[in-house]
Structure 1
């Protein structure tokens, strides 16, 4: 069809590959190779596909799951959780994973918000099942992972449907496959709708920008919940037939993680900065052979420069940073190993989170949506195939999230002339002191150069004179006991005086979200609990 300004072609089809196809392809190519490791158990690609097919058949034939239905999953990392992702995909249903650290009320909210038809739940969370049943009017079934009173065991169901067959549902580009719940650090979690077409691009992009050269000879260690970025990372491994190794322990066991890296010759893993910090500060990293590592990917929050340098010195140039929200499925920037430098100079761009991912475009915009010049701070906005379809059943949130087609991240930052992005912080973290905008991250970076400070978070608190002032919450390194007054005196001259935190407190550990992030919302809640918002300088 010809139009006045050029040729317009009406698409004949928006059909795309069902993401289950990644598993089917790897099972076809590498049926006898190990696909998944958990504790002492291993599954080949053929065995994994057979189990997924059996659960898909059960969901369809016994529980009535059809294309578009949502299935909530509440579980610690395990083979059943991993399998449930592909069983949902195969039916064209929507996988709705919850972080296993969430409370029963929080999971019940996810069940009601998503309209989940059923719940697959670990047997150690019976109260979550009961809460979901009481809260949701549409939940029809539950499946237990392990023996439980509240539902039939997942493995027993797989055994019953082992010989059943099920067809893979045809899907279009915009058919949803995953409800990726935001972490909810600034309010109730929202369900970001990820689609089959979008995720096909994301997997390709991850392989292109984060882990080039990944093949079935690689192995990936999971050290974070599959419900979030780690799940997307593992989907990428399945696409290439690379084996996945799950930690056998409920809590993060650093020594065990390094043992598994050595045993399975792990070549990549997905982490967040707090986990990477723990991995590289633990003595086991010096005791185990980790020479097989090629890509240690960290995301979820910017990594402080001091921790980045220590990771580089410990692991070598294998660390990869990416910046991206769940709504953009991690696909905004990448900082590959070649752009990680030990030396500190303008040419090495310390503090950058990288440049735009392949196929994505970044714009730094002012409050009116106008793009600002390089070096000017504004809101980080993005367009491209990795951007989600929108929030489920939340038109108000969608209206706020998009402007002129751009997705608004809510993060502040600036770009240099070459297109490298520097994150200043969340817009909600900025505070105004004496009429000046204060960005906590800059202050935090300075405080972390103190030899006795391990972690820090700066928040703005009310002040009768300046409107707001900075309060720094710090964690001291083991074996040290710095005084608050001494640290503030040490900072004098290292930054403009109006940016200096007026108060500083020490805590034994920093509260973190279910995904391992240091969340300012949790910091404020803890300050209130400790009655420290109005206290003078103290330890």
Structure 2
């Protein structure tokens, strides 16, 4: 007996467009438009398409890369890094970008955990390349961006294969395209699996909610690593033929940002509140014409109201805020320019992270997964096409991340009657510094490797520049003088610089609960009692 499917509809194939086709489409429509600018070089869309085809041919024919293989990328922003994303996508391979500021040990872990088949590494990171080879002996190839002795030269491979055309490999909606590394409460990075179908929705959603009206006449300047949110943002630019301009230096140089905004008539940029604060407070902002800006998009952390006012007074009503984790690729809520106001009236919507993104649904839930009433605090949960496929090779993390089909953000908040969402706290001890998620457990484990440290607890405390910074409260072993340890020097090279605690405080012992546990709540209370941090104002 043949069963009739629900609704009488026979499910069809879930095949979707390969994301690399965005570049192909733009190159067809606007072949001679400038698509990418870095330092003194410019590439048209036709040239970018040709270089991506060439690298895809090299990866496929020279190194045997196939659909589903992972390629780890360790590089500062450059045209080759951006091209490698499309080359991987074109072959149905998975792009695995690392935050280039991470230590060799951190990146070596990613090489092993991702099961990477190859590594594309900037010439300035030989220690990272060697660490990856040692940790992941199954790496079949290493390609160097720039002259280096640890791999074949990227541009030489492109030159050898120019003129080759590589058709995009057929992909389905749930085929992975990007391992977006995030961290959990254990401190070990987890690979959020982003897929071709999911990312097609994300790109459409960004164009709809964050920067409507984006066309080939637009331009975007990059002030953050392409390995994470900025990479998603620039992929969006390609979809509508807007050019991307990279900073000529690895480090943020504010006058250069404003010079490029004026020179290229930049219309949008993606950043985090701490960098936006630096941009608008630098004297150079008044020396260059930034009137072309339509959307200055910030995410990653709340923005202090005074900083928001300064940005609005300096740039005009161009601010766009969004709330979203890597697992949802930024697609949870949005606060458009119209809700950013210099005046502290109802239109300003002070303290909110906005309302639900188009096509997404947010629900505030209690500990049992039930929705709570408007204004009541609970965990912010989300469903929709932007939610990732899950964590790679991590069933335990997946079980914790999803409940009844909802993705659990781990953030606490409430929703007003009119649908605006307010984040009120965090379910974990994670803190955000300069737009980067910092997980104390990872830092604590590193500090505890020091032979003269017996106990440690790292907590995030408010900071006017970075949003939050880490305080490491330590207990030295008996007979050891704390001032002799130099923990900041000892940690140098063992953790990324942005994870380094701002202060190291030594106590004779850490307060513990009745169960003998060190709790962050008790640490904070003791820091307040000792006057190390300000007491919270009464509610």
TM-score by length of 1: 0.82
Deviations 1:466-518 (A, max 9, x none): xx9x99554589xxxxxxxxxxxxxxxxxxxxxxxxxxxxxxxxx9xx9998x
- Matching residue of 1:319: 319
- Matching residue of 1:415: 415
Q: Quick one: distance in 1 between partners of 2:346 and 2:402?
A: 34
The runs of 5 or more residues in structure 2 that have no matched partner are: 441-456, 467-491, 508-522, 534-539
- Matching residue of 1:91: 91
3-state DSSP of counterpart to 1:182: strand
Q: Quick one: distance in 2 between partners of 1:143 and 1:122?
A: 8
Does structure 2 retain, via aligned residues, the 8 Å contact 1:274–1:516?
Answer: no
Does structure 1 retain, via aligned residues, the 8 Å contact 2:298–2:322?
Answer: yes
- Matching residue of 1:531: 506
- Structure 1 residues 347 and 247: alpha-carbon distance in aligned structure 2, compared to 1, 3 A threshold: closer
Does structure 1 retain, via aligned residues, the 8 Å contact 2:339–2:347?
Answer: no
Q: Quick one: distance in 1 between partners of 2:290 and 2:183?
A: 32
Q: Report the CA distance between 1:307 and its aligned residue.
A: 1.3
Does structure 2 retain, via aligned residues, the 8 Å contact 1:116–1:139?
Answer: yes
3-state DSSP of counterpart to 2:250: coil
Does structure 2 retain, via aligned residues, the 8 Å contact 1:272–1:516?
Answer: no
- Matching residue of 1:103: 103
- Matching residue of 1:284: 284
The within-5 A match list for 1:206-217 is 206-217=206-217
Q: Quick one: distance in 1 between partners of 2:131 and 2:37?
A: 32
Q: Quick one: distance in 2 between partners of 1:165 and 1:376?
A: 56
Q: Quick one: distance in 1 between partners of 2:47 and 2:465?
A: 48
Q: Quick one: distance in 1 between partners of 2:344 and 2:506?
A: 40
Number of equivalences: 465
Q: Quick one: distance in 2 between partners of 1:471 and 1:337?
A: 30
1:366 aligned onto 2:366: yes
- Matching residue of 1:78: 78
- Matching residue of 1:338: 338
- Matching residue of 1:56: 56
- Matching residue of 1:247: 247
The within-5 A match list for 1:333-482 is 333-346=333-346, 348-429=348-429, 472=461, 474=463
Deviations 1:419-460 (A, max 9, x none): 000011221249xxxxxxxxx99xx9xxxxxxxxxxxx9x9x
What RMSD over aligned residues (CA atoms) do the two structures have, in Å? 2.7
Q: Quick one: distance in 1 between partners of 2:160 and 2:179?
A: 29
Does structure 1 retain, via aligned residues, the 8 Å contact 2:274–2:465?
Answer: no
- Structure 1 residues 398 and 358: alpha-carbon distance in aligned structure 2, compared to 1, 3 A threshold: same
- Matching residue of 1:462: none
- Matching residue of 1:188: 188
Q: Quick one: distance in 2 between partners of 1:224 and 1:313?
A: 23
3-state DSSP of counterpart to 1:363: strand
Does structure 2 retain, via aligned residues, the 8 Å contact 1:225–1:515?
Answer: no
- Structure 1 residues 83 and 538: alpha-carbon distance in aligned structure 2, compared to 1, 3 A threshold: same
- Structure 1 residues 473 and 173: alpha-carbon distance in aligned structure 2, compared to 1, 3 A threshold: closer
Q: Quick one: distance in 2 between partners of 1:203 and 1:377?
A: 31
3-state DSSP of counterpart to 1:352: coil
- Matching residue of 1:497: none
- Structure 1 residues 54 and 424: alpha-carbon distance in aligned structure 2, compared to 1, 3 A threshold: same
Does structure 2 retain, via aligned residues, the 8 Å contact 1:36–1:243?
Answer: yes
Q: Quick one: distance in 2 between partners of 1:294 and 1:515?
A: 34
Q: Report the CA distance between 1:348 and its aligned residue.
A: 3.4
Does structure 1 retain, via aligned residues, the 8 Å contact 2:185–2:429?
Answer: no
1:260 aligned onto 2:282: no
Q: Quick one: distance in 2 between partners of 1:474 and 1:386?
A: 32
Q: Quick one: distance in 2 between partners of 1:475 and 1:118?
A: 41
